[in-house]
Amino acid sequence: MWRPPSGAFRAAARALLLLAVPLGAAAQLAPGDAFPPLPAAVAGTAGKVVLVDFWASWCAPCKASFPAYGRLDHDFRAAGLVIVGVGVDEDPVAYESFVKRWAPGFFVYRDADHSLVRRVRIPTMPTSYLIDRRGRVRYVHPGYRGAETEAALRREIETLLTEKAS
């Protein structure tokens, strides 16, 4: 017997629709583009290397990425890396549950109205953007591929931390 989709399924479907880029819309951010300003709640990023990760509670690769981002935060924070996790959940309870479960040591906030998501035009969940000290996107990682993504991020972070802001 058919049953209507669960609330979690409906929320995930709505989130995916919000993330889709409509025809004729601006292209997603690419290396070299300026990253849009982060909300006022995200302080202390000026002149720093910033990793911005878009995630959702229903996204399995997002769950796998959080421990890796915790290791990166631990290893590179003192050198000038700032990690910002941007949750796209519409449901505040799902967002809070995810944050409580994974207990990130880095800053997270909920983009409840998807204003940053719309400006960035993320291609998939999760997607991370590595931003240089001048606020330019230098690397984009659509999806999360475990050790492969973590190793690439380590190399890229090390490169960006050695560069001077100009």
Q: Which segments of 9-157 are extended strands (E)?
A: 49-55, 81-87, 107-110, 127-131, 137-142
CA 72 to chain centre: 14
Q: What is the mean pLDDT of residues 1-28?
A: 46
Quickly tell me which residue has 């919000």 as its tokens. 18
Q: For the CA atoms of 60, 30, 11, 99, what is the dihedral angle to 10 degrees?
A: 50
| pLDDT at residue 21, as a whole number | 37
The residues near 13 (Cβ < 8 Å, ≥ 6 apart) are: 5
Give, as one character, the DSSP assignment of residue 145.
-
- What tens digit of pLDDT does each residue of 120-131 get? 999 999 999 999
Confidence of residue 7 (pLDDT cuts 50, 70, 90): low
Which sequence spans correspond to the domains of the chain? 46-162
Per CATH, which fold does 46-162 belong to?
Answer: Glutaredoxin (3.40.30)
Average pLDDT over the chain reads 86
Q: Which of 126, 122, 121, 117 is nearest to 150 (CA)?
A: 126
pLDDT in tens, 15-45: 443 444 332 345 789 999 999 999 888 888 9
Percentage of the chain exceeding pLDDT 90:
77
What is the Cα Rg of the chain in Å? 16
Is residue 148's pLDDT more than 60?
A: yes
pLDDT (tens digit, 9 = 90+) per residue, 83-139? 999 999 999 999 999 999 999 999 999 998 999 999 999 999 999 999 999 999 999
Amino acid present at 160: L
> Given this model, what pLDDT does residue 77 score?
97
Q: What is the pLDDT of residue 108?
A: 95
Measure the CA–CA gap between 133 and 90, rounded to whole angstroms: 31
- In this structure, which long-range contacts are made by residues 7-10, counting pairs with CB atoms below 8 Å and at least 24 apart in sequence? 7/91, 8/58, 8/94
* pLDDT top residue among 75 and 9: 75
**Res 52: pLDDT:** 98
Q: Is the pTM of this model over 0.75?
A: yes
Residue 65 structure tokens: 């990425």
